[in-house]
Structure 1
């Protein structure tokens, strides 16, 4: 069952200006493994983090560093969740996250489908 979907788009030049104006933003928003990436890739990852929050239903229980986006050898992205964010996603009944990211020109976007039983559903009593 689809628990939720989320989509987000980021204006790459605007994101770049924000990062240049406030360099600490990169440390605040991204895991250590993500920080050395190109600005357009960071923008896509930020969109992926925002899309996850939207798919699950709101910002409560999410921490930026608890959401890491990694890619496999073929470049397919996936979430690695930890801490409070992992607990929050699990509490919402999400068992699988499907992620797609893209960037072209001045835009970076991400789309996520959260799949699972949903909060309170599928629990046997």
Structure 2
């Protein structure tokens, strides 16, 4: 049963500007070490980070709360060995998902050099 649906789109340059302006402070506030460890030093790092940022926003929307009350790091977007995005919730995000009866997530992420988009389906 579908319990929530969220979608988000972000300009990749917004992430580039945030990294330039705030550097590691921004990265470590928004992303977990696991999210940063995969491909964050590559040429496409901004696109990947923008995709993960959009996925976090989409998960928040699927939970029905926007960004209220949940920290960025309470939603972790990683990938399995085949490259499929996965969601791992902790803290208040996990508690909220439990209250809503959410037991599974499906996430799709896509990006170009200009924009990243993500959709999150809560089941």
TM-score for the superposition, normalised by structure 1: 0.86
How far does residue 18 in structure 1 lie from its aligned partner after superposition?
1.6
How far does residue 114 in structure 1 lie from its aligned partner after superposition?
0.8
Q: Which segments of 5 or more consecutive residues in structure 1 lack a partner in the other structure?
A: 116-125
Alignment RMSD (CA, Å) = 1.2
Structure ID, larger Rg: 1
Q: 1:47·1:110 contact (CA, 8 Å) conserved in 2? A: yes
Q: Name the counterpart of 2:34.
A: 33
Q: What does 1:1-125 correspond to in 2, within 5 Å?
A: 1-23=1-23, 24-36=25-37, 37=40, 38-58=45-65, 59-115=67-123
Number of matched residues?
115
Q: 1:61·1:88 contact (CA, 8 Å) conserved in 2? A: no
Q: Which segments of 5 or more consecutive residues in structure 2 lack a partner in the other structure?
A: none
Structure with the bigger percentage of helix: 2
How far does residue 31 in structure 1 lie from its aligned partner after superposition?
0.3
Structure with the bigger percentage of strand: 1
SS at structure 2 position matched to 1:2:
coil
